[in-house]
Chains A and B, each alone.
Chain A
């Protein structure tokens, strides 16, 4: 099998295998068989380094409709049932008859990259030509390369393991080498994994150490003296790097976001070289945290306006120090790293860089009481870190725990439903909820998660049998199912009818015991906004 077919087979195997080991085997097989240039692209794709979108979804859909001779409403009906544009198009286009596809994965990707400069007619001609070369499975993959979001059931961690097995290296080393800024167009497989690049790339971040939620009692962690407690901030986890007189800011999603936070430019001249700090990009004024909703107004924008800088100022709340004077100190103990960090932040002495302060506590009980005050402190709970711990790679149990506070909750009624995506295709799983406002209902949030598959199936059946009206893909349903909605925070919002925006809303449970008369009111929401929205 050649390039594109081999890759399509890999995607199919990853999408259908239900066991991690099968996915791992499929990747190892792929890395054993594929060309080096295709391999580097697969690493790029599966670590979120997708080429810029060359063609809009609207155009892709239009060309597909033209090719398959379909009216727009019918295309949309199909799209809402399938829940994935790339797949919808692959299913609607006529199946081709051909032998072997001569092209590699990199051929298509590099063509797509070149295409962004071309006229619409040239784009169209390449897309139509490609659709005629590719069978259904390959067409799906090809469309995915354009529409992006390659979420096909493979985590970066599995890919790292597969690469480690392929080239016989430690996973932590691989994770580091494939992180950061590199271009699949110009990087060779051996160069990337051989570590040549890592030693010359000033921007190279380290893989983040992530924590699991604490499920046991803190007492079970042992002596409290061995643990460090900090507030758990709700911002964007990031790494601040200065090497060779250049400053870089990385997000946890491995996006280089230096330009989005001009506040940090001030640090360029005062931070020492050869330094990597792990921390949280936080909206903050005078050292005090501000709600995440403020930061949201800034992210996603190409250029930050002066108004935004004034209204949503940002600081870096430092957690940890990973590199000092060019030396990787991740194997030092947390307490040693922290001493170094404190010294650096103190010497820099700039409001854009603060340490996330360590919380004093005398016993676990004290800490429980402090945790209950997280919201007043603008935090979403506590972080517990073992003082002797090294800085590890990825999500690991044992040394770091997040201990979040219970979410805020409100009882609401389901009023609109829409079909979901991916494994929820053709099922009504995306809901809009309302609270009471006098004798009216006011919608205030959407939620997609928190129910079991069985519950989703029950709600789906309810929606299908109780829809009142259909607006495109949205069905209005008889307001009767009541759910307890949990969320992490609440902020005022001019964009929502209810006047509030929730942070991470989800369905905590289905309140079979309640009917629509017993749900919460808009007044209740406004009261919550008053208490927690500042």
Chain B
């Protein structure tokens, strides 16, 4: 039985009459996480994880939000729905749907390595698994995050010695918090407004995160000399960056695995740090669910589904409107405080 169908407006559970991460306004939306390609404006009722709610309020403004905990079971018209940690960003969740013993899980975006903020990804046993595939090719294999953090720290130190500021481009919700944590021992980390907004909101919510200095028109240029600056990818190449001169740019993204992308971004350094599962992560997560049937969404869906089929798993590719933004070549819409 199809517990989820793929419709014009997004993933739809007709038995429960709700959508998951719809890309059009609907009556009831279950939201996996607060990135804007998954959490869109205009639905009448949103249900999400407790940690996600304030982030949704920040992005989408006031509205009708319901928050639940991981593992909490919600009954909607005979369907049991629950959220489970996805390890992608703070509050990110997988959606489990059960109806008369049949279980489907939608992964949302996920990564299998625990980043210390987003919770440990849990593989949920199910009959049908709907998985993302952002990095669904075997060329994408991540180093342990500590190794990457070390690289970032070394790069920052070298830049300071050479008299340069270090501008690190990281998505403002998720990656930025990880990078700021990794650089915690440094004094005075400066950040772009979009990143400050997320950071301050999370601190106010009780997250133990280092505070960062907001860069404003009044920030003294002298204070920015040889500094560390965290900025969203959209700031790259903008006139906003000029105040940091001389500076070097480091891009933190899974796409930096391929040299051509580093060169195209004109980055001085690329750090392969991702909030998505790598190839091995996708395979192990999919296998651990024990699913007989797998739908593969955004990313390298045709390659990953073909691979799964070769391994004897019934897999199909699905076209969605996800992945348009976040790690997609570093495009990002601004997060503004309403």
Contacts and interface: CB of A to CB of B under 8 A. Distances in A.
Nearest to A79: B139
Nearest to A89: B139
Interface stretch (B27-35, B78-86, B190-198, B267-275): B267-275
A16 B268 contact: yes
A91 B263 contact: no
A74 interface: yes
Interface stretch (A162-170, A391-399, A417-425, A513-521): A417-425
B260 A422 contact: yes
B307 interface: yes
Contacts of A470: 302
B266 A18 contact: yes
B258 A87 contact: yes
Contacts of B329: 457
Contacts of B263: 15-16, 153, 422-423
Interface residues of A, number: 32
Say whether chain A's binding surface is mostly helix, strand, loop, or mixed: helix
A16 B137 contact: no
Contact of A68 (B138, B258, B302, B306): B138
A17 B268 contact: yes
Contacts of B267: 16, 18
A71 B260 CA distance: 24
Interface residues of B, number: 25
A445 to B, nearest CB: 24
Interface in B265-321: 266-270, 300, 302-303, 306-307, 310
B260 A83 contact: yes
A412 B138 CA distance: 37
Interface string A205-227: 00000000000000000000000
Interface in B210-257: 255, 257
B259 A84 contact: yes
A78 B137 contact: yes
A78 B139 contact: yes
Nearest to A91: B139
B259 A15 contact: yes
A82 B261 CA distance: 9
Nearest to A456: B264
Contacts of A82: 139, 258, 260
Contact of A18 (B137, B268, B300): B268
Contacts of A140: 259
B303 A77 contact: yes
B278 to A, nearest CB: 11
B260 A424 contact: yes
Given A82-B139, A92-B138, A73 B306 contact: yes
Interface string A86-101: 0110011001000000
A95 B269 CA distance: 21
B260 A92 contact: no
B117 interface: no
A425 B262 CA distance: 10
Nearest to B257: A91
B268 A88 contact: no
Contact of B270 (A16, A422, A425, A427): A16
Nearest to A70: B138
A409 interface: no
A88 B259 CA distance: 10
Contacts of B260: 82-84, 421-426
A74 B268 contact: no
Interface in A151-167: 153
A47 interface: no
A16 B139 contact: no
Given A71-B310, A73-B306, A81-B139, A426 B268 contact: no
Contacts of B137: 74, 77-78, 81
Nearest to A425: B260
A25 to B, nearest CB: 11
A453 B329 CA distance: 12
A52 B134 CA distance: 39
Given A16-B269, A18-B266, A74-B307, A425 B139 contact: no
Nearest to B270: A16
Contacts of A153: 263
Contacts of B255: 426
Nearest to B137: A78
Interface in A392-445: 421-427
A100 to B, nearest CB: 19
A70 B279 CA distance: 13
Interface string B69-84: 0000000000000000
B139 A453 contact: no
Given A15-B259, A82-B258, A425-B258, A453 B264 contact: yes
A234 to B, nearest CB: 31
Contacts of B303: 74, 77
B264 A424 contact: yes
Contacts of B300: 77, 81
Contacts of A16: 262-263, 267-270
A95 B280 CA distance: 14
A132 to B, nearest CB: 17
A391 to B, nearest CB: 35
Nearest to B328: A461
Contacts of B138: 68, 70, 74, 78, 92
Interface string A2-17: 0000000000000111
Contacts of A453: 264
Contacts of B264: 423-425, 427, 453
A395 to B, nearest CB: 23
Contact of A87 (B259, B270, B306, B307): B259
Interface string B185-204: 00000000000000000000
A81 B254 CA distance: 14
A365 to B, nearest CB: 44
Contacts of A68: 138
Nearest to B331: A457
* A-B pairs with lowest CB-CB distance, top 10: A425-B260, A423-B263, A91-B139, A423-B264, A77-B303, A78-B139, A423-B260, A422-B260, A425-B258, A78-B137
Interface of A: 15-18, 68, 70-71, 73-74, 77-78, 81-84, 87-88, 91-92, 95, 140, 153, 421-427, 453, 457, 470
14 contacts: A15-B259, A16-B263, A73-B306, A74-B137, A74-B138, A74-B307, A77-B300, A78-B137, A91-B141, A140-B259, A153-B263, A423-B263, A423-B264, A470-B302
Given A71-B310, A74-B138, A91-B139, 10 more contacts: A16-B269, A74-B306, A77-B137, A81-B139, A82-B258, A84-B259, A84-B260, A91-B141, A453-B264, A457-B329
